[in-house]
Amino acid sequence: MDPLYKQYPVHVEDSLRRSKELLTPVSEGRVGMYVCGPTVYSNVHLGNARTFTSFDFIFRYLSHLGYKVRYVRNITDAGHLENDADEGEDKIAKKARLEELEPMEIVQRYTVDFHKVMHQLNALPPSIEPTATGHIVEQIEMIQAIINSGWAYESNGSVYFDVNSYNHDGGTYGELSGRKMDELQAGSRALDGQDEKRNLADFALWKKASASHIMRWPSPWGIGFPGWHLECSAMSTKYLGEEFDIHGGGMDLKFPHHECEIAQNVATNGKKGAKYWMHANMLTLNGKRMSKSTGNTILPSELFNGDNPLLVKGFNPSVVRFFMMQAHYSSVLDFSNDALLAAEKGHQKLMSAWVKLQGLSSSKESTWNLQAWLDKCYLSLSDNFNSPILISHLFEAIKMINQSENQIPLEQSDLDVFIQKMDAFIFDILGLQLDEQGSSQSDALDKAMDLVITLRAKARENKDWNTADIIRDQLAAAGIKLKDGANGTSYEI
Ligand code: AMP
Ligand code: ZN
Protein backbone atom coordinates (compact mmCIF):
# COMPACT_ATOMS: atom_id res chain seq x y z
CA MET A 1 0.00 0.00 0.00
CA ASP A 2 1.12 3.55 -0.72
CA PRO A 3 2.37 5.52 2.26
CA LEU A 4 -0.18 7.98 3.63
CA TYR A 5 1.76 10.96 2.22
CA LYS A 6 0.99 9.68 -1.28
CA GLN A 7 -2.72 9.29 -0.51
CA TYR A 8 -2.96 12.72 1.09
CA PRO A 9 -0.22 14.91 -0.46
CA VAL A 10 0.74 17.84 1.76
CA HIS A 11 0.51 21.48 0.69
CA VAL A 12 2.41 24.07 2.71
CA GLU A 13 2.12 27.83 2.82
CA ASP A 14 5.49 29.09 1.61
CA SER A 15 6.33 32.61 2.79
CA LEU A 16 8.97 33.07 0.10
CA ARG A 17 6.70 32.39 -2.89
CA ARG A 18 3.69 33.70 -0.91
CA SER A 19 1.59 30.75 -2.06
CA LYS A 20 0.50 27.29 -1.04
CA GLU A 21 2.84 24.73 -2.58
CA LEU A 22 2.81 20.99 -2.95
CA LEU A 23 5.49 19.58 -0.64
CA THR A 24 7.94 17.71 -2.86
CA PRO A 25 10.86 16.74 -0.66
CA VAL A 26 14.41 16.93 -1.97
CA SER A 27 14.74 13.26 -1.22
CA GLU A 28 11.72 10.95 -1.74
CA GLY A 29 10.13 9.80 1.52
CA ARG A 30 12.28 12.05 3.72
CA VAL A 31 11.72 15.54 5.09
CA GLY A 32 14.46 17.78 6.49
CA MET A 33 13.04 20.49 8.74
CA TYR A 34 14.98 23.23 10.54
CA VAL A 35 13.28 25.43 13.15
CA CYS A 36 15.00 28.36 14.86
CA GLY A 37 15.20 27.53 18.55
CA PRO A 38 15.10 29.80 21.60
CA THR A 39 17.72 32.26 22.75
CA VAL A 40 18.30 30.84 26.21
CA TYR A 41 18.70 33.98 28.31
CA SER A 42 15.30 33.88 30.05
CA ASN A 43 12.34 31.56 30.65
CA VAL A 44 10.43 30.81 27.46
CA HIS A 45 7.07 32.59 27.47
CA LEU A 46 3.80 31.21 26.20
CA GLY A 47 4.30 32.91 22.80
CA ASN A 48 7.62 31.12 22.23
CA ALA A 49 5.99 27.89 23.38
CA ARG A 50 3.21 28.35 20.83
CA THR A 51 5.64 28.54 17.91
CA PHE A 52 7.52 25.44 19.06
CA THR A 53 4.23 23.59 19.66
CA SER A 54 3.07 24.49 16.13
CA PHE A 55 6.20 22.95 14.62
CA ASP A 56 5.95 19.95 16.94
CA PHE A 57 2.46 19.34 15.53
CA ILE A 58 3.83 19.67 11.97
CA PHE A 59 6.68 17.27 12.82
CA ARG A 60 4.17 14.82 14.30
CA TYR A 61 1.88 14.93 11.25
CA LEU A 62 4.67 14.51 8.69
CA SER A 63 6.01 11.56 10.69
CA HIS A 64 2.51 10.05 10.92
CA LEU A 65 2.18 10.26 7.12
CA GLY A 66 5.19 7.98 6.82
CA TYR A 67 7.91 10.53 6.09
CA LYS A 68 11.25 9.94 7.71
CA VAL A 69 11.68 13.39 9.25
CA ARG A 70 14.97 14.84 10.43
CA TYR A 71 13.92 17.72 12.65
CA VAL A 72 16.71 20.10 13.66
CA ARG A 73 15.97 22.81 16.22
CA ASN A 74 18.90 24.78 17.54
CA ILE A 75 19.69 26.43 20.84
CA THR A 76 20.95 30.01 20.47
CA ASP A 77 23.55 30.31 23.19
CA ALA A 78 25.69 33.10 21.70
CA GLY A 79 25.60 35.88 19.14
CA HIS A 80 22.05 37.22 19.64
CA LEU A 81 22.54 40.90 20.36
CA GLU A 82 20.01 43.10 22.09
CA ASN A 83 19.35 45.01 18.92
CA ASP A 84 18.73 43.79 15.37
CA ALA A 85 21.04 46.51 14.02
CA ASP A 86 24.10 44.61 15.30
CA GLU A 87 24.47 46.79 18.35
CA GLY A 88 24.13 46.30 22.09
CA GLU A 89 25.31 43.50 24.28
CA ASP A 90 24.93 39.78 23.67
CA LYS A 91 21.66 38.86 25.45
CA ILE A 92 23.23 35.93 27.29
CA ALA A 93 26.42 37.78 28.24
CA LYS A 94 24.31 40.65 29.59
CA LYS A 95 22.19 38.38 31.75
CA ALA A 96 25.36 36.66 33.02
CA ARG A 97 26.85 40.03 33.96
CA LEU A 98 23.67 41.14 35.75
CA GLU A 99 23.34 37.90 37.69
CA GLU A 100 27.08 37.48 38.26
CA LEU A 101 27.08 34.06 36.66
CA GLU A 102 29.03 32.37 33.90
CA PRO A 103 27.26 32.72 30.52
CA MET A 104 27.10 28.92 30.36
CA GLU A 105 25.26 28.87 33.70
CA ILE A 106 22.62 31.12 32.14
CA VAL A 107 22.49 28.89 29.07
CA GLN A 108 22.15 25.76 31.19
CA ARG A 109 19.43 27.18 33.43
CA TYR A 110 17.19 28.36 30.60
CA THR A 111 17.83 25.37 28.35
CA VAL A 112 16.62 23.16 31.19
CA ASP A 113 13.54 25.39 31.61
CA PHE A 114 12.84 25.26 27.87
CA HIS A 115 13.05 21.47 27.79
CA LYS A 116 10.83 21.18 30.86
CA VAL A 117 8.13 23.39 29.34
CA MET A 118 8.20 21.60 26.00
CA HIS A 119 8.00 18.24 27.80
CA GLN A 120 4.98 19.48 29.80
CA LEU A 121 3.35 20.51 26.55
CA ASN A 122 4.09 17.02 25.24
CA ALA A 123 6.34 18.22 22.42
CA LEU A 124 8.64 15.54 21.05
CA PRO A 125 12.37 16.23 21.21
CA PRO A 126 13.86 17.20 17.84
CA SER A 127 16.15 14.74 16.05
CA ILE A 128 19.15 17.05 16.53
CA GLU A 129 19.45 20.07 18.85
CA PRO A 130 22.73 21.81 17.98
CA THR A 131 24.09 24.87 19.76
CA ALA A 132 25.69 27.98 18.28
CA THR A 133 28.74 27.72 20.54
CA GLY A 134 29.26 24.13 19.42
CA HIS A 135 29.55 25.24 15.80
CA ILE A 136 31.98 28.17 15.82
CA VAL A 137 34.32 26.37 13.40
CA GLU A 138 31.52 25.82 10.86
CA GLN A 139 30.50 29.46 11.18
CA ILE A 140 34.03 30.73 10.60
CA GLU A 141 34.27 28.49 7.51
CA MET A 142 31.02 29.91 6.19
CA ILE A 143 32.20 33.50 6.69
CA GLN A 144 35.37 32.65 4.80
CA ALA A 145 33.31 31.24 1.92
CA ILE A 146 31.16 34.39 1.78
CA ILE A 147 34.27 36.61 1.77
CA ASN A 148 35.68 34.47 -1.04
CA SER A 149 32.48 34.93 -3.03
CA GLY A 150 33.03 38.71 -2.78
CA TRP A 151 29.91 39.57 -0.76
CA ALA A 152 31.45 40.18 2.64
CA TYR A 153 34.18 42.51 3.87
CA GLU A 154 36.26 42.91 6.97
CA SER A 155 36.15 46.19 8.83
CA ASN A 156 38.02 46.87 12.06
CA GLY A 157 38.03 43.22 13.18
CA SER A 158 34.38 42.62 12.28
CA VAL A 159 33.01 41.08 9.08
CA TYR A 160 29.86 42.35 7.39
CA PHE A 161 27.68 40.99 4.62
CA ASP A 162 27.67 43.43 1.71
CA VAL A 163 23.96 43.59 0.89
CA ASN A 164 24.34 46.16 -1.87
CA SER A 165 26.90 44.30 -3.92
CA TYR A 166 25.03 41.03 -3.35
CA ASN A 167 21.83 42.49 -4.77
CA HIS A 168 23.78 44.25 -7.51
CA ASP A 169 25.03 40.81 -8.60
CA GLY A 170 21.50 39.40 -8.79
CA GLY A 171 20.89 38.60 -5.11
CA THR A 172 17.35 39.02 -3.81
CA TYR A 173 17.85 40.40 -0.29
CA GLY A 174 14.44 41.77 0.76
CA GLU A 175 12.46 39.14 -1.17
CA LEU A 176 11.16 37.27 1.90
CA SER A 177 10.11 40.29 3.94
CA GLY A 178 9.09 42.42 0.96
CA ARG A 179 11.45 45.25 1.99
CA LYS A 180 13.03 47.47 -0.61
CA MET A 181 16.73 48.31 -0.59
CA ASP A 182 16.17 52.08 -0.31
CA GLU A 183 13.98 51.52 2.77
CA LEU A 184 16.67 49.36 4.31
CA GLN A 185 19.38 51.90 3.73
CA ALA A 186 17.45 54.95 4.89
CA GLY A 187 18.32 54.85 8.57
CA SER A 188 18.06 58.14 10.36
CA ARG A 189 19.87 57.08 13.52
CA ALA A 190 23.61 57.18 13.78
CA LEU A 191 24.22 53.82 15.41
CA ASP A 192 27.15 52.55 17.34
CA GLY A 193 29.52 50.69 15.08
CA GLN A 194 27.52 51.57 11.97
CA ASP A 195 30.46 53.55 10.61
CA GLU A 196 32.21 50.20 10.17
CA LYS A 197 29.52 49.24 7.68
CA ARG A 198 29.60 50.32 4.04
CA ASN A 199 25.83 50.51 4.13
CA LEU A 200 23.23 50.58 6.86
CA ALA A 201 21.57 47.48 5.39
CA ASP A 202 24.75 45.38 5.83
CA PHE A 203 24.64 42.88 8.66
CA ALA A 204 27.31 41.33 10.87
CA LEU A 205 28.73 37.88 10.18
CA TRP A 206 31.44 38.30 12.81
CA LYS A 207 31.76 40.96 15.50
CA LYS A 208 34.97 42.06 17.12
CA ALA A 209 34.74 41.48 20.87
CA SER A 210 35.37 44.49 23.07
CA ALA A 211 37.60 43.97 26.11
CA SER A 212 34.54 43.49 28.33
CA HIS A 213 32.78 41.00 26.06
CA ILE A 214 32.98 37.67 27.85
CA MET A 215 31.88 35.29 25.07
CA ARG A 216 34.79 35.37 22.63
CA TRP A 217 36.58 33.10 20.17
CA PRO A 218 39.71 33.46 17.99
CA SER A 219 39.18 33.84 14.24
CA PRO A 220 41.16 34.93 11.17
CA TRP A 221 39.80 38.45 11.86
CA GLY A 222 40.78 38.56 15.53
CA ILE A 223 38.98 37.77 18.77
CA GLY A 224 35.22 38.02 18.42
CA PHE A 225 31.94 36.20 18.16
CA PRO A 226 29.59 35.17 15.32
CA GLY A 227 26.56 37.17 14.20
CA TRP A 228 23.22 35.69 15.20
CA HIS A 229 21.95 34.93 11.68
CA LEU A 230 25.00 32.89 10.78
CA GLU A 231 24.50 30.03 13.23
CA CYS A 232 21.24 28.89 11.60
CA SER A 233 22.76 28.91 8.09
CA ALA A 234 25.79 26.97 9.32
CA MET A 235 23.86 24.39 11.34
CA SER A 236 21.03 23.83 8.84
CA THR A 237 23.62 23.25 6.07
CA LYS A 238 25.65 20.93 8.27
CA TYR A 239 22.79 18.68 9.34
CA LEU A 240 20.31 18.97 6.45
CA GLY A 241 22.45 19.86 3.44
CA GLU A 242 22.70 22.88 1.12
CA GLU A 243 19.12 22.32 0.00
CA PHE A 244 16.54 20.88 2.39
CA ASP A 245 12.78 20.99 2.74
CA ILE A 246 11.23 23.15 5.46
CA HIS A 247 12.63 26.08 7.44
CA GLY A 248 10.39 27.34 10.21
CA GLY A 249 10.17 29.99 12.88
CA GLY A 250 7.89 32.69 14.22
CA MET A 251 6.63 35.44 11.90
CA ASP A 252 8.85 38.00 13.64
CA LEU A 253 11.94 36.13 12.44
CA LYS A 254 11.20 36.81 8.75
CA PHE A 255 13.21 39.99 8.99
CA PRO A 256 16.06 40.34 9.51
CA HIS A 257 16.87 36.80 10.66
CA HIS A 258 15.56 34.64 7.82
CA GLU A 259 16.21 37.26 5.16
CA CYS A 260 19.87 37.20 6.24
CA GLU A 261 19.97 33.41 6.42
CA ILE A 262 18.82 33.14 2.81
CA ALA A 263 21.46 35.66 1.64
CA GLN A 264 24.21 33.82 3.56
CA ASN A 265 23.15 30.47 2.07
CA VAL A 266 23.10 31.81 -1.48
CA ALA A 267 26.45 33.56 -0.99
CA THR A 268 28.00 30.32 0.29
CA ASN A 269 26.65 27.73 -2.11
CA GLY A 270 24.18 29.33 -4.53
CA LYS A 271 21.11 27.77 -2.86
CA LYS A 272 18.53 29.38 -0.59
CA GLY A 273 18.66 26.61 2.03
CA ALA A 274 15.07 25.50 2.48
CA LYS A 275 12.63 24.94 -0.40
CA TYR A 276 9.73 26.06 1.81
CA TRP A 277 9.89 28.85 4.41
CA MET A 278 7.09 28.51 6.95
CA HIS A 279 6.12 31.07 9.57
CA ALA A 280 4.00 30.55 12.65
CA ASN A 281 1.86 33.45 13.80
CA MET A 282 2.02 35.29 17.08
CA LEU A 283 0.33 34.71 20.39
CA THR A 284 -1.04 38.00 21.67
CA LEU A 285 -2.01 39.20 25.11
CA ASN A 286 -4.48 42.09 25.31
CA GLY A 287 -4.21 42.31 21.52
CA LYS A 288 -0.45 42.93 21.64
CA ARG A 289 2.31 40.52 20.72
CA MET A 290 3.55 38.55 23.71
CA SER A 291 7.12 39.69 24.00
CA LYS A 292 9.85 39.51 26.55
CA SER A 293 11.19 42.96 25.73
CA THR A 294 7.88 44.73 26.51
CA GLY A 295 7.10 42.55 29.54
CA ASN A 296 3.77 41.59 27.97
CA THR A 297 4.16 37.91 28.80
CA ILE A 298 2.74 34.92 30.61
CA LEU A 299 4.98 32.02 31.50
CA PRO A 300 3.74 28.49 30.83
CA SER A 301 4.44 27.61 34.49
CA GLU A 302 2.12 30.44 35.63
CA LEU A 303 -0.57 29.08 33.36
CA PHE A 304 -0.17 25.53 34.67
CA ASN A 305 -0.25 26.70 38.35
CA GLY A 306 -2.77 29.52 37.97
CA ASP A 307 -0.16 31.81 39.49
CA ASN A 308 -0.98 34.98 37.57
CA PRO A 309 -3.54 37.74 38.26
CA LEU A 310 -5.00 37.25 34.76
CA LEU A 311 -6.06 33.70 35.61
CA VAL A 312 -8.79 32.36 37.86
CA LYS A 313 -7.10 28.96 38.09
CA GLY A 314 -4.38 26.75 36.66
CA PHE A 315 -4.82 24.73 33.48
CA ASN A 316 -3.62 21.28 32.55
CA PRO A 317 -0.83 21.51 29.90
CA SER A 318 -2.90 19.38 27.53
CA VAL A 319 -5.71 21.97 27.77
CA VAL A 320 -3.16 24.67 26.91
CA ARG A 321 -2.01 22.63 23.93
CA PHE A 322 -5.64 22.14 22.84
CA PHE A 323 -6.15 25.92 23.13
CA MET A 324 -3.22 26.37 20.72
CA MET A 325 -4.37 23.64 18.32
CA GLN A 326 -7.84 25.22 18.06
CA ALA A 327 -6.24 28.03 16.04
CA HIS A 328 -4.42 27.58 12.75
CA TYR A 329 -0.67 27.97 13.19
CA SER A 330 -0.64 30.86 10.73
CA SER A 331 -3.39 32.85 12.53
CA VAL A 332 -2.91 35.23 15.42
CA LEU A 333 -4.14 33.72 18.69
CA ASP A 334 -5.18 35.96 21.56
CA PHE A 335 -4.69 34.69 25.06
CA SER A 336 -7.40 35.15 27.68
CA ASN A 337 -8.71 33.40 30.75
CA ASP A 338 -12.09 32.92 29.02
CA ALA A 339 -10.49 31.34 25.97
CA LEU A 340 -8.66 28.89 28.25
CA LEU A 341 -11.89 28.05 30.11
CA ALA A 342 -13.60 27.37 26.77
CA ALA A 343 -10.66 25.20 25.66
CA GLU A 344 -10.91 23.28 28.91
CA LYS A 345 -14.56 22.46 28.18
CA GLY A 346 -13.74 21.36 24.62
CA HIS A 347 -10.82 19.25 25.82
CA GLN A 348 -13.00 17.61 28.45
CA LYS A 349 -15.69 16.84 25.87
CA LEU A 350 -13.14 15.30 23.53
CA MET A 351 -11.57 13.15 26.25
CA SER A 352 -14.92 11.98 27.67
CA ALA A 353 -16.00 10.89 24.20
CA TRP A 354 -12.69 9.06 23.76
CA VAL A 355 -13.23 7.20 27.05
CA LYS A 356 -16.86 6.41 26.13
CA LEU A 357 -15.76 5.09 22.74
CA GLN A 358 -13.71 2.34 24.42
CA GLY A 359 -16.90 0.91 25.96
CA LEU A 360 -19.09 0.95 22.84
CA SER A 361 -19.80 -2.18 20.83
CA SER A 362 -20.04 -2.51 17.07
CA SER A 363 -23.18 -2.86 14.93
CA LYS A 364 -24.06 -5.44 12.27
CA GLU A 365 -23.34 -2.95 9.53
CA SER A 366 -21.79 0.48 9.22
CA THR A 367 -24.29 3.26 8.65
CA TRP A 368 -21.82 6.05 9.42
CA ASN A 369 -19.48 6.80 6.51
CA LEU A 370 -16.09 6.25 8.11
CA GLN A 371 -14.04 6.61 4.93
CA ALA A 372 -15.62 9.96 4.03
CA TRP A 373 -14.86 11.21 7.55
CA LEU A 374 -11.26 9.95 7.44
CA ASP A 375 -10.70 11.65 4.08
CA LYS A 376 -11.97 14.95 5.51
CA CYS A 377 -9.65 14.69 8.49
CA TYR A 378 -6.58 13.91 6.41
CA LEU A 379 -7.38 16.49 3.77
CA SER A 380 -7.65 19.22 6.41
CA LEU A 381 -4.29 18.25 7.88
CA SER A 382 -2.63 17.96 4.48
CA ASP A 383 -4.01 21.37 3.55
CA ASN A 384 -1.26 23.34 5.31
CA PHE A 385 -1.77 21.60 8.67
CA ASN A 386 -5.25 22.90 9.41
CA SER A 387 -5.71 21.79 13.03
CA PRO A 388 -8.95 23.77 13.72
CA ILE A 389 -10.70 22.10 10.79
CA LEU A 390 -9.46 18.70 11.97
CA ILE A 391 -10.87 19.48 15.43
CA SER A 392 -14.25 20.39 13.90
CA HIS A 393 -14.29 16.95 12.20
CA LEU A 394 -13.36 15.30 15.49
CA PHE A 395 -16.35 17.02 17.09
CA GLU A 396 -18.59 15.64 14.37
CA ALA A 397 -17.37 12.18 15.38
CA ILE A 398 -17.91 13.03 19.06
CA LYS A 399 -21.52 13.90 18.32
CA MET A 400 -21.99 10.47 16.77
CA ILE A 401 -20.27 8.81 19.78
CA ASN A 402 -22.42 10.73 22.25
CA GLN A 403 -25.62 9.82 20.37
CA SER A 404 -24.71 6.13 20.53
CA GLU A 405 -26.20 4.33 23.52
CA ASN A 406 -24.27 1.07 23.72
CA GLN A 407 -23.69 0.47 20.07
CA ILE A 408 -21.89 2.64 17.57
CA PRO A 409 -23.14 2.56 13.94
CA LEU A 410 -19.95 0.86 12.71
CA GLU A 411 -19.25 -2.80 12.08
CA GLN A 412 -16.35 -4.32 14.01
CA SER A 413 -13.60 -3.86 11.41
CA ASP A 414 -14.61 -0.19 10.90
CA LEU A 415 -14.84 0.35 14.64
CA ASP A 416 -11.28 -0.93 15.03
CA VAL A 417 -10.04 1.49 12.36
CA PHE A 418 -12.08 4.34 13.87
CA ILE A 419 -10.56 3.82 17.34
CA GLN A 420 -7.08 3.56 15.88
CA LYS A 421 -7.52 6.77 13.85
CA MET A 422 -9.11 8.73 16.71
CA ASP A 423 -6.11 7.68 18.80
CA ALA A 424 -3.74 8.89 16.07
CA PHE A 425 -5.48 12.25 15.55
CA ILE A 426 -5.96 13.10 19.23
CA PHE A 427 -2.75 11.77 20.77
CA ASP A 428 -0.12 11.16 18.08
CA ILE A 429 -0.80 14.16 15.85
CA LEU A 430 -2.43 16.86 18.00
CA GLY A 431 -0.24 15.63 20.87
CA LEU A 432 -2.98 15.88 23.52
CA GLN A 433 -2.88 13.82 26.68
CA LEU A 434 -5.52 12.03 28.69
CA ASP A 435 -4.91 13.02 32.29
CA GLU A 436 -7.30 10.64 34.00
CA GLN A 437 -5.20 10.34 37.11
CA GLY A 438 -4.46 14.08 37.29
CA SER A 439 -8.07 15.11 36.81
CA SER A 440 -9.49 12.58 39.25
CA GLN A 441 -6.85 13.58 41.79
CA SER A 442 -7.70 17.25 41.40
CA ASP A 443 -11.43 16.48 41.67
CA ALA A 444 -10.76 14.63 44.92
CA LEU A 445 -8.59 17.49 46.21
CA ASP A 446 -11.32 20.03 45.35
CA LYS A 447 -13.85 17.99 47.34
CA ALA A 448 -11.52 17.58 50.33
CA MET A 449 -10.74 21.30 50.31
CA ASP A 450 -14.46 22.17 50.16
CA LEU A 451 -14.87 20.13 53.33
CA VAL A 452 -11.94 21.80 55.12
CA ILE A 453 -13.13 25.28 54.09
CA THR A 454 -16.65 24.48 55.41
CA LEU A 455 -15.24 23.23 58.74
CA ARG A 456 -13.17 26.40 59.12
CA ALA A 457 -16.22 28.57 58.33
CA LYS A 458 -18.20 26.65 60.99
CA ALA A 459 -15.41 27.19 63.54
CA ARG A 460 -15.42 30.91 62.81
CA GLU A 461 -19.22 31.05 63.10
CA ASN A 462 -18.80 29.51 66.56
CA LYS A 463 -16.06 32.04 67.37
CA ASP A 464 -13.64 29.12 67.72
CA TRP A 465 -10.76 31.25 66.39
CA ASN A 466 -8.17 28.79 67.61
CA THR A 467 -9.42 25.94 65.38
CA ALA A 468 -9.89 28.32 62.42
CA ASP A 469 -6.30 29.54 62.78
CA ILE A 470 -4.90 26.03 63.13
CA ILE A 471 -6.64 25.01 59.88
CA ARG A 472 -5.29 28.04 58.04
CA ASP A 473 -1.74 27.73 59.41
CA GLN A 474 -1.44 23.98 58.91
CA LEU A 475 -2.66 24.33 55.33
CA ALA A 476 -0.14 27.13 54.76
CA ALA A 477 2.61 24.89 56.13
CA ALA A 478 1.52 22.27 53.56
CA GLY A 479 1.78 24.89 50.79
CA ILE A 480 -1.97 25.62 50.46
CA LYS A 481 -3.04 29.23 50.85
CA LEU A 482 -6.64 30.10 51.74
CA LYS A 483 -8.01 33.25 50.13
CA ASP A 484 -11.02 34.89 51.77
CA GLY A 485 -13.01 36.95 49.28
CA ALA A 486 -16.45 38.49 48.75
CA ASN A 487 -17.73 35.20 47.28
CA GLY A 488 -16.37 32.97 50.02
CA THR A 489 -13.05 31.23 50.51
CA SER A 490 -10.95 29.68 47.77
CA TYR A 491 -7.56 28.02 47.86
CA GLU A 492 -4.32 28.20 45.96
CA ILE A 493 -1.45 25.71 45.97
P1 AMP B 1 13.58 33.94 20.63
O2 AMP B 1 14.00 33.12 21.82
O3 AMP B 1 13.29 35.36 20.94
O4 AMP B 1 14.57 33.78 19.48
O5 AMP B 1 12.19 33.33 20.12
C6 AMP B 1 11.97 31.96 19.98
C7 AMP B 1 10.79 31.72 19.03
O8 AMP B 1 9.58 32.23 19.58
C9 AMP B 1 10.94 32.40 17.66
O10 AMP B 1 10.54 31.48 16.65
C11 AMP B 1 9.98 33.55 17.73
O12 AMP B 1 9.49 33.88 16.46
C13 AMP B 1 8.89 32.97 18.59
N14 AMP B 1 8.03 33.98 19.25
C15 AMP B 1 8.42 35.09 19.93
N16 AMP B 1 7.34 35.79 20.39
C17 AMP B 1 6.25 35.08 20.01
C18 AMP B 1 4.84 35.25 20.18
N19 AMP B 1 4.33 36.28 20.86
N20 AMP B 1 4.00 34.33 19.64
C21 AMP B 1 4.50 33.26 18.97
N22 AMP B 1 5.82 33.04 18.77
C23 AMP B 1 6.69 33.93 19.28
ZN1 ZN C 1 17.47 30.93 13.21
For residue 357, the domain's CATH number is 1.10.730
Question: Does residue 4 lie in a domain region?
Answer: no
* pLDDT under 50: residue ranges of the chain: 188-190
Angle between helices 317-325 and 337-358 (to 10 degrees): 100
Residues 148 and 70 in one domain: yes
Residue 234 and residue 247 in one domain: yes
Does 473 lie in the same domain as 393? no
Report the nearest-CA residue for atom 11 of ligand 1: 250
Domain contains 7: no
Let me know if residue 3 belongs to a domain.
Answer: no
> Based on the domain organization, do 368 and 417 belong to the same domain?
yes
In the chain, how many domains are there?
3
pTM value surpassing 0.85: yes
Distance between CA 344 and CA 338 in Å, rounded? Answer: 10
Which ligand 1 atom is at minimum distance from the Cα of 40?
A: 2
Alpha carbons 204 and 181: distance in angstroms, whole number: 17
Q: Tens digits of per-residue pLDDT, 364-387?
A: 999 999 999 999 999 999 999 999
Q: Classify residue 211: in a domain, yes or no.
A: yes
Quick one: 252 and 306 in the same domain? Answer: no
Residue-number span of the structural domain to which 452 is assigned: 436-492
Q: Is 51 in the pocket of ligand 1 (CB under 6 A)?
A: yes
136, 44: one domain: yes
Residue 1 lies in a domain: no
pLDDT reported for residue 447? 75
Answer yes or no: is the C-beta of 334 below 6 A from any ligand 1 atom: no
On whether residue 103 sits in a domain, the answer given is yes
What's the CA gap between 210 and 138, in Å, rounded?
A: 23
Q: What pLDDT was estimated at residue 191?
A: 53
Which residue among 280, 303, 327 closes a domain? 280
The verdict on residue 342 lying in a domain is yes
Ligand nearest to the CA of 37: 1
396: in domain: yes
Report the CATH number that the domain containing residue 166 is assigned in CATH: 3.40.50.620
* Interval 46-63: pLDDT, tens: 999 999 999 999 999 999
From 379, 396, 429, the end of a domain falls on 429
Q: Judge if 270 and 320 occupy the same domain.
A: no
Nearest to 459 by CA among 482, 492, 443: 482
Q: Quick check: bond before 9 cis, omega within 30?
A: no
Q: What does the pLDDT read at residue 189?
A: 47
Question: Which of 263, 280, 297 marks a domain boundary?
Answer: 280
Greatest distance between any 2 Cα atoms in the chain: 88
